[in-house]
Structure 1
Amino acid sequence: MDAGAEDAVFYSIYPGLPAGASDGDALIQLQRLRDDCLAVASPLVRGYIWQHAQFDLQPAARCDPGLPLVYGRTRYGHNLEDEWFVVYLLYEISRRIPGVYIRVWDSDGEFLLIEAAYAIPRWLKPENSQNRVFISQGSLHILPLPTSPAHVGLSLANPTLAEAVRVLSSGSVDTRASEGVQAAIGRKLEGYPERSRKNMHRVRCKVPLSVAQVLKHEPQLVALAVEAFYTRDHDAMAAASRMEKFLRGGQDEIVTVAVCLSKAMYAQLKQQVFQAPRIYPAEGQDDIGVKLACGFEMMYWERSNFQDEQAVGKTFRKGLEARGYFKDLLEGSKEHRQLLDAAFASYRETETFSRIREAMQVPAKRIDEILALEHKAEDFMNVDIPESDDDSWLYRGEDELTSAMQERQKEMDAHDKKSGAKTLAPVVEGEFDPSELTKTMKSFVDKISSFEGAEVPKSKIYFPVSMDLENFMQELKTALKLDNERAGDLQSGSSDSDSGEGIPLNCFPFESSDDDSKGEDDFMEEYSDAIQHELKNSSVSKTFAQPDVSRASGSASTSATATGDDNLHVDVDLNLLKNLLDSYSSQQGLPGPASNVLGMMGMQLPDDKEEHKRKTRRK
């Protein structure tokens, strides 16, 4: 993964060319395949504004020996919609162009499998999913684990790309994923390409004439302008203060236009507080227009000056710092400067630098070409300009998040029903028993958790975890110097709280055993005393709920304040119940951590009727 991989989606298209094809023949066929793929995608993306760059493909005849391909990468940044639009385009390409096999992934890996997590086979895990997931003929395909000699050429754990494509093209193995997997991906792609238009936002604003001219001929360049504005630094702000290119030092006329942005871009501009440069004319200080104009100025300055050390060094230096190249040297020091000069001199001689510089300067050169064309303010006057779209969606994020969580909950419920997991029983008046909640929580932690996490039970029968508990407890006993009695208590899952007793805060597993040396005894005793002293003088004890002294049935339930005992006692069950109820109440009926944990245990809390009454009265 290269720079920007954390917010990019990658894709490769394998045509299954005949073995033994020369590089020249392969490149010709790959170029033809690229043209065919873009011919499929172009009508679908017409008018769409990508967050960073347009969907594109490049041929590579020698990327993998014997496996030519066309590939691409699309940065989606803050606009996740771009990623799923790319997936939709790849599905369409696979439908309309026979014999191609497509891989798509991002920094999370096989994100299509993540989306279909409740439907994929249980054996499929991140460590064995590499080169197993493909898109072909409008469906998702998963190469299965070999179960017979018929699966010749397919490695058990990690098939190579060449092996995978060979198996797919042979048709000897049924690789089409289950209908549940297809449906999960289908839900994410539902509504495209019309859905992509809903991700656009049109805004009416005032901009300098030069900005209007560029947007008229290359509307996609608005993405680079927004990015430059959103990530601006001191040097970029200095360029914007002069506005030499897009305002001609304050001489350019101001015109009104309608600009199409992605919703993510509009939010990036709208939510930032920005003061217009002094050179900007007062009559043209439209909020979005000013930000767009300054963004174009910043972008043009960065791109056109990329050949200079000052501009290149800004990006290049960050890469060196991330690799620890400068160690602990102070920036600006003589040694720091010498290292930077040496690294930059070497970098400028590389082919990579030349290629990156050329690519970076393309937008600036295109802007020069557009502004060289004849244009005047009258071209943008007396034109019917639509009003701005309603931007109330900016303030509906909570509703959309709730809707998305509810959809995910439906998937979880369907999965639980299919797998036979316990469902939540309805709560009947007077049926809720707090003691049952604490017992169930202990059982959940003690019996179905392991070093791999907590497994949600499919029935009331708990499945054994895959670890040697006896050896584990022996190691734990040795490490903590526990005696046999305490280790036995730990292994059985018992504690003072099992009987409703309180646990004093100074009970730590550092008690010395009879077999320990006197030095170790002294150290552990002093260490325990030191910890107890710190806790005693802190406010930690005040964060625990204390049992009602007047209702306490035994001395173990009495607080230190009432008894005069320095060792504060805490009822673990009481605090567990209180924290769960507080968390559940704060969710206000929405999905949340408390309801999720209780749901996995097959429990459901009753509604807070008093809170409901208060809400009703307020309404």
Structure 2
Amino acid sequence: MPPMSQEDIEWFKSTFRPIPKPELPDDSVEYSLCHIPSDPTPTIIDEVAETRSRLVEVQRSAAELTNVLLKDYIWQREAFRLEITKEDGITLLRGRTNFGDSIEDEWVIVYLLRELSKKHKDIWVKVTDGDGQFLLIEAAGTLPSWLEPEIADNRVWIHRGELVIIKLKNQKGKVTEKLSLSDSRKIMVEEPARLMRSAMIQEEAFYRLRNYPQQINENLHSAMIKIPRMIAHLLHQKPAYISAAVEAFYLRDPIALRPLRAKDPANFIFKPEDFVTVSVRFTRVGYAQLKSQDFPAPKSWAGVLPSKDDQKSYDKAEVGMKLACGFEMLLADPQNQDKAVVREIKLILEDIESGDEGLPTDTQIATWDKIEDDEKWLDISFEDLDQELKGKGKESNDGNIPKGSFGDANAQENLQRIVARFEEFMNNDSAGFEGADFFDDYGSDSDEGDEEEELSSDGEDKDASFDEEEFSKMMKEMMGMPSMSGGHGSSRPSMPRNRVQELDSESEDDTEQIQQLSRQMEAELRGTGVLDLSRPGKGKQALPRGKSSEDHDEEDGEMPGLEDEDIDINLAKNLLESLQSQAGGAGPAGNMLSMLNLPIPKDDRGR
């Protein structure tokens, strides 16, 4: 093959586009630790060897710090970890953690990284999540005007426990300077004058770490619950198994619920028998997910739960039932078979079945810790919460935040801070469509040559005007509410295609039941005349039998009271029976009520 000419090389450079780096998932945080020696080494070989040696030392130090600070900590999904890798020819430590719904896991990682940067003075730390530079988002009100999200990559670092921002080389004109990792490293070594350290920005960025490390233990919750002895044994060996079981319960779908439909408890992996009451440690998010969901007990569990007359005993047994169902779904669902936690649990169960390992006796269980934390952090007074959102929160006589109004003290303090920031933004007269300039310390330059704003005759700023309907739709989508124009709004993850195909291959019995239910519902709807599109009075207000439109007009538009005999309760009865047969899962009745924005009624009957 002949060598490429200079013209061919230039053409290749002009047309080549690097493969874009995949975006970070929404529920994940990624972190990188770079080694930058204070004194340059004489040779490249020595520098590479020293870098690798120092990174191994940092890796070992991170493991020690984790063992000290997070000895009994439970991660919602994945744990903090560091691996040696290369990026842009630079050897560094990198890790990625999926924290799920537990935002506190993300801040625990930030705290660990900050502590590592204090201990190792030659380590520079970069941390991002699905939102990008989330530390800058925390400190948005204190940032200089030139620090836009488009140029923030590789510009924000943690060094010696401080937040460091790489300033622009030239702050005049349009800001377009983007930095690669190698660019940032070069600036740290050769241009230290461009490294900005601001106490005000740092205080805002690290605000959520103000109560660490004491707050780490507050992210967990211990509760006394009644569970099968085999599950108690698993959790005593490794408490971290709890997160996978809770998630299997929380994200269940009709396929995952199949094992629980078995009428014979002998088919269960964790049979509803041989119960023990033990203290179980959860993440706070996991416990709330387990506790708050309405979940009718499977038939094999219905006769096991105690009476609701003894509410405390019933609550312990109900949480235990949900957890046991979570473990059952975790091990039985085909999509979980390749997970490491499932393989570990199955190995333990095999040892128990073969007799190589025995279950704990009542005497042994009596020696275990019996910790039961207060659940007041679950209690929320929505009236007090509404007052806080309006900036009218209650204060005690000494000016302190009263405890127990809603959530815990940290939740109250964080919410009050958010409300204060929002009010500051709304009251800022200089705020435009790009936001408010809270601080001018960093040269929020307003060029004298700016053009005057174009105003309409009625004083409206055309550039800043917006469609109220579109704005309302966007706000609902941001808050996870369904918009009126579309069918979006569900916060639950979409079902993968292979799960949909598996669901489509349901047994003939289930399909026949669904078809029979659909025919019954259609018959009821036709009986009420709802599906009769050709009926008289189409498009008008329906009137009771025996009343004409003239009679209705004579009553000044008031609707007469409906007679009891005119109310057809069969449709409501069938809907409720359909909901009950769904056992908390998805189904036609639940979907119909969801599309109508109607709440699904609870089944509060005795189980």
TM-score when normalising by structure 1:
0.55
Q: Does 1:299 align with 2:299?
A: no
Higher helix share: 1
How has the CA–CA distance of structure 1 residues 373 and 71 changed in structure 2, closer, same or farther, with 3 Å as cutoff? farther
Note the 1:457-468 alignment, pairs <5 A: none
Structure 1: any 5+ residue segments left out of the alignment? 149-154, 313-356, 424-443, 474-487, 495-619
Q: Does 1:258 align with 2:279?
A: yes
- After superposition, what is the alpha-carbon deviation per residue over 1:213-242, rounded to whole angstroms, capped at 9, x for unaligned? 110111011000000000011221122445
Q: Which amino acid aligns with 2:375?
A: D
Tell me what 1:84 maps to.
107
Q: Which amino acid aligns with 1:386?
A: K
Pick one of 125, 129, 133 that aligns with 2:148: 125
Pick one of 34, 43, 63 that aligns with 2:68: 43
SS at match of 1:192: coil
Rounded to whole Å, the distance in 2 between the matches of 1:246 and 1:36 is: 47
Rounded to whole Å, the distance in 2 between the matches of 1:195 and 1:125 is: 32
Q: Does 1:290 align with 2:343?
A: no
- After superposition, what is the alpha-carbon deviation per residue over 1:136-171, rounded to whole angstroms, capped at 9, x for unaligned? 1111110111159xxxxxx97111111212332457
Number of residues paired by the alignment?
390
Tell me what 1:188 maps to.
208
How far did 1:287 drift?
Answer: 0.7
Q: Would the aligned equivalents of 1:12 and 1:71 in 2 still touch at CA under 8 Å?
A: yes
Tell me what 1:214 maps to.
234
Rounded to whole Å, the distance in 2 between the matches of 1:217 and 1:492 is: 67
Q: Would the aligned equivalents of 1:255 and 1:380 in 2 still touch at CA under 8 Å?
A: no
Q: Which moved more, 1:122-131 or 1:170-179?
A: 170-179
SS at match of 1:279: helix
Q: Would the aligned equivalents of 2:82 and 2:93 in 1 still touch at CA under 8 Å?
A: yes
- After superposition, what is the alpha-carbon deviation per residue over 1:406-431, rounded to whole angstroms, capped at 9, x for unaligned? 32455678x89xxxx989xxxxxxxx
Q: Would the aligned equivalents of 1:99 and 1:169 in 2 still touch at CA under 8 Å?
A: no
Q: Which amino acid aligns with 2:289?
A: Q
Tell me what 2:296 maps to.
275
Tell me what 2:457 maps to.
489
Q: Which amino acid aligns with 2:90?
A: L
Q: Which amino acid aligns with 1:12?
A: S
SS at match of 2:256: helix
Tell me what 2:313 maps to.
none
Q: Would the aligned equivalents of 1:15 and 1:99 in 2 still touch at CA under 8 Å?
A: yes
How far did 1:117 drift?
Answer: 1.4
Rounded to whole Å, the distance in 2 between the matches of 1:158 and 1:457 is: 24
How has the CA–CA distance of structure 1 residues 130 and 244 changed in structure 2, closer, same or farther, with 3 Å as cutoff? farther
Q: Would the aligned equivalents of 1:41 and 1:93 in 2 still touch at CA under 8 Å?
A: no
How has the CA–CA distance of structure 1 residues 272 and 249 changed in structure 2, closer, same or farther, with 3 Å as cutoff? closer
Q: Would the aligned equivalents of 1:202 and 1:389 in 2 still touch at CA under 8 Å?
A: yes
TM-score when normalising by structure 2:
0.56
Tell me what 1:535 maps to.
none
Q: Which amino acid aligns with 2:288?
A: A
Pick one of 146, 162, 174 that aligns with 1:139: 162
Q: Would the aligned equivalents of 1:225 and 1:292 in 2 still touch at CA under 8 Å?
A: yes
- After superposition, what is the alpha-carbon deviation per residue over 1:380-414, rounded to whole angstroms, capped at 9, x for unaligned? 4433653532212112373356543432455678x
- After superposition, what is the alpha-carbon deviation per residue over 1:426-460, rounded to whole angstroms, capped at 9, x for unaligned? xxxxxxxxxxxxxxxxxx7xx9755x4677899xx
Note the 1:278-427 alignment, pairs <5 A: 278-280=299-301, 282-283=303-304, 286-302=317-333, 305-306=334-335, 357=338, 359=340, 362-365=343-346, 367-368=348-349, 371=352, 373-378=357-362, 380-383=364-367, 386=370, 388-396=372-380, 398=385, 399-400=406-407, 403-408=413-418
Rounded to whole Å, the distance in 2 between the matches of 1:171 and 1:66 is: 21
SS at match of 2:141: coil
Q: Which amino acid aligns with 1:275?
A: P
- After superposition, what is the alpha-carbon deviation per residue over 1:514-556, rounded to whole angstroms, capped at 9, x for unaligned? xxxxxxxxxxxxxxxxxxxxxxxxxxxxxxxxxxxxxxxxxxx
Rounded to whole Å, the distance in 2 between the matches of 1:176 and 1:456 is: 19
Rounded to whole Å, the distance in 2 between the matches of 1:374 and 1:76 is: 34
Rounded to whole Å, the distance in 1 between the matches of 2:460 and 2:366 is: 84
Report the structure number with the largest CA radius of gyration. Answer: 1
- After superposition, what is the alpha-carbon deviation per residue over 1:546-568, rounded to whole angstroms, capped at 9, x for unaligned? xxxxxxxxxxxxxxxxxxxxxxx
How has the CA–CA distance of structure 1 residues 464 and 267 changed in structure 2, closer, same or farther, with 3 Å as cutoff? same
Q: Does 1:5 align with 2:25?
A: yes
| Higher RCO structure (Cα 8 Å, ≥6 apart) | 2
Tell me what 1:16 maps to.
36
Q: Which amino acid aligns with 1:378?
A: D
Q: Which amino acid aligns with 1:255?
A: V
Tell me what 1:617 maps to.
none
How has the CA–CA distance of structure 1 residues 236 and 140 changed in structure 2, closer, same or farther, with 3 Å as cutoff? same
Structure 2: any 5+ residue segments left out of the alignment? 1-20, 307-316, 386-405, 441-445, 463-607
Rounded to whole Å, the distance in 1 between the matches of 2:156 and 2:266 is: 48
Rounded to whole Å, the distance in 1 between the matches of 2:51 and 2:371 is: 51
How has the CA–CA distance of structure 1 residues 411 and 69 changed in structure 2, closer, same or farther, with 3 Å as cutoff? same
How far did 1:378 drift?
Answer: 2.8
Q: Would the aligned equivalents of 2:83 and 2:95 in 1 still touch at CA under 8 Å?
A: yes
Rounded to whole Å, the distance in 2 between the matches of 1:139 and 1:245 is: 59
How has the CA–CA distance of structure 1 residues 448 and 115 changed in structure 2, closer, same or farther, with 3 Å as cutoff? closer
SS at match of 1:234: coil
Rounded to whole Å, the distance in 1 between the matches of 2:261 and 2:449 is: 65
How has the CA–CA distance of structure 1 residues 44 and 105 changed in structure 2, closer, same or farther, with 3 Å as cutoff? same
SS at match of 2:33: strand
